[in-house]
Chain A
Amino acid sequence: MFKILNAQFIAPGIKRFVIEAPRIARKQRPGQFVIIRVNETGERIPLTIEKSDPEKGTVNIVVQSIGKTTHLLNSLETGDSILDMVGPLGKPSEIEKFGTVVVMGGGVGTAMAYPTASAMKRAGNRVITIIGGRNKDLVLLESEMREVSDTVFVTTDDGSYADKGLVTDKLRQLIENGTRIDLVLAVGPIPMMRAVADMTRKERIKTMVSLNPIMIDGTGMCGGCRVLVEGKSEFACVDGPEFDAHRVDFAILVQRNAMYREAEKRSMENYQHEVEQKKTAAPAEDEVACALEGKK
């Protein structure tokens, strides 16, 4: 059992958990992730590590409610426990002095990009960070990113905050302005990472993306997370999760991630139904608490 020492919504539908996991906290490096299983009947899903504190033995994860498991997870509160959490998994990001590094975070991907941005800065790089979200509320970790970056650009799809547009618009501007870029790291939704890859390929800028395929064990045993990298099968859990963006077949990633769409929908509907039933049974005070916490 892994105890939740703190749980707080940092944006609507996005919650940060501080979890007691001393072994993982000690070993976590930027770019790595964990796999969790909420309860006995739960599935195993990979999740982003925002940061960890080896002294306190805690690991922070940031979770966006998307399907049943993430909704269920985000219904947990301080003092609750997660049945299983294993990690840190995957290869750490390659951290060295590249020169100027552009770190791009889309939505909850920003949490995964944050420890790498921080490490890149410590390694002596000039770090330009571009983060974005659909709207103001979904721009995550802006102040944290400011602390570890030389420059931070923020975009929102709807213009409700900072610059209206996509993170890739900002990257294009940087390239067009003649900014020297030695490395781009992009973490976010697949369309965003693909767009970044297409943009930097022409410019021959080395670009890394952190992939999020379907995964079960996370140790290389099942092969479910295989991605096509220059025509060759690689496993995101042991060979990744970061890959050279210019070699990744994004279309296959999109296709494979949609494999269980029907079942995921059914799970979600069942879960919502259960939640509804519970609500009618006992009018919820936690709903109020949720609503209060829902805002930053």
Chain B
Amino acid sequence: MSTPPTSKTPAKKSSNPIPNKERMKMPRQHMPEALPQVRNKQFTEVNLGYSAELARQEALRCIECAKPTCVTDCPVGVKVKDFVQLIVDGDYLGAAAKIREDNVLPAITGRVCPQEDHCEGGCLLNKKGQSLGIGYLERFVADYEQQHFDVSKIVKAAPTGKKVAIVGSGPSGLTAAGDLVTKGHKVHVFEALHEIGGVLVYGIPEFRLPKAIIRQQVDYMRAMGVEFETDVVVGRTITIDELMEEEGYDAVFIGTGAGLPQFMGISGEHLNGVYSANEFLTRINLMHAYEFPKYDEPMVDFRGKNVAVIGGGNTALDAIRSSLRLGAGKAFILYRRSEAEMPARIEEIKHAKEEGIEFQVLAAPLEFLDDGKGWLKGARCQKMELGEPDLSGRRRPVPLPGSEYEIPLAVAIMAIGTTANPIIQTTTPGLATTKKGYIQADDTTQKTSRRGVFAGGDIVTGGATVILAMGAGRRAAKSIHEFLASGEW
């Protein structure tokens, strides 16, 4: 009962002909990229992907550690060393199958994972130079699979007769769905929006993660037997209790993701031209506002205007790089700490700088200024310095007295995080929540306070990354399977 086919290659001696010492001297293969001055005007993908030749060259750098930290540092435990060896062998479909044993969304993680925090972070090659390009290799293998693997060959697992509802089709939900369907459970995914993918679709721009890639990964899951239903807001259209009592689901996984966008609570946030990053990115990504008037969703005119994004995470960088592509005259990040504390991926910061994004760090807005007609005309800002570390371990920004200054702005986009979405919590009696309103779930089993109900991803942890949400989906799938098999809570 194996859905996607597992690699036929058993663990074996490396076929890599290069001595380990030599491997450590080989330079990391660069990811081919669109030119900064071309790509900053269009929404097509920035990274172009390794060729088979580049992939092999890079794979040959792996020194095949006895205790690979790349595997243990991966939130879903991808067997990096094994799949890299399969690339060396030229068995790309085998490599894809090896990744799929632990990760149902390889073409996505290969593009958006912060590898430096996980697999590549502990890579021993870092000591001599640069880590192995694990993300790039994963992307290569996944893209190769999309072009060469016939999904009709997927063998479906024998049905267990159990039904699982997945609420939300973002990274945690898709991961849980993929893992559960391979166990033979009937899996039905509910999505509130009109497209499958959650934050992958509405949050991450085309130039970083093309929609076609998401669709292909979702089609693969359909071929595995996962059912999808759009336009269902669980909590409104149907409740968790109705799913279990009336529609006969034996278990439910809640992976509804990041919640309501936060604002700073400063004066002028209601002016026209002030957006939440969620709204701005949803208009661009889900609704194609950058293709107006071919698509109906409108966007304010960015051409030649000053645009600032407030925040320093991946969302902030996605928003500011999208602004540039809409024709912003000057696009900059306004971040209250320094660049070292930015939570964004290193590659995104590099790409943003190449494209001409300005970074104004150690600065934050105090108020947004009205042009007298209800539109934003600027911001009054304040400079900061770094003080003692706060709860997050990062040094706390402290306002510098007398450092206030004004900047002209036509658009300001707030990318300062989210708070818990209350829809499910308020419509599911007995579902315990944290002080901040997130769903309480066990760290290892993802069990909530309600029997048969599991939760994971941002709705449990607050805003985090795609791969951390996937890790939660994976843990949930494991314990859902155990629950369905044993009936014990």
Contact = CB atoms under 8 A, between A and B. Distances in A.
**A complexed with B:** yes
Interface of A: 23-24, 27, 37, 41-44, 68-69, 83-89, 216-224, 226, 228, 233, 235, 238, 249, 252, 255-256, 258-260, 262-264, 266-267, 270
Given A219-B421, A264-B298, A85 B276 contact: no
9 pairs of A and B residues whose beta carbons are closest in the complex: A263-B298, A255-B374, A223-B276, A222-B279, A43-B296, A223-B261, A260-B298, A86-B231, A43-B297
Contacts of B282: 216-217, 221-222
Contacts of B193: 217
Contacts of A27: 236-238
A217 B231 CA distance: 10
B283 interface: yes
A86 B194 CA distance: 9
Contact of B300 (A220, A221, A259): A259
Given A44-B287, A216-B279, A267-B298, 15 more contacts: A23-B238, A24-B237, A41-B296, A85-B231, A86-B231, A87-B236, A217-B192, A221-B282, A221-B421, A238-B421, A249-B270, A263-B298, A267-B292, A267-B293, A267-B296
A211 B283 CA distance: 21
Interface of B: 192-194, 202, 230-233, 236-238, 258-261, 263, 265, 269-270, 272, 275-276, 278-279, 282-283, 286-288, 292-301, 374, 421-423
B235 to A, nearest CB: 9
13 contacts: A24-B237, A43-B287, A44-B287, A217-B282, A219-B192, A221-B259, A221-B260, A221-B278, A222-B261, A223-B279, A255-B272, A260-B300, A262-B301
A24 to B, nearest CB: 6
Q: Which of A87, A223, A249, A267 has the most CB of B within 10 A?
A: A223
Q: Which of B231, B259, B276, B300 has the most CB of A within 10 A?
A: B231
A228 B270 contact: yes
A226 B288 CA distance: 22
Contacts of B374: 252, 255-256, 258
B140 to A, nearest CB: 32
B270 A41 contact: no
Given A216-B279, A216-B283, A219-B423, A42 B270 contact: no
A89 B270 contact: no
Contact of B295 (A41, A87, A88, A233): A41
A267 B291 CA distance: 12
Nearest to B193: A217
Q: Which of A85, A218, A224 has the most CB of B within 10 A?
A: A224
Given A87-B237, A260-B298, A235 B260 contact: yes
Nearest to B265: A233
Nearest to A39: B296
Nearest to B271: A255
A226 B297 CA distance: 18
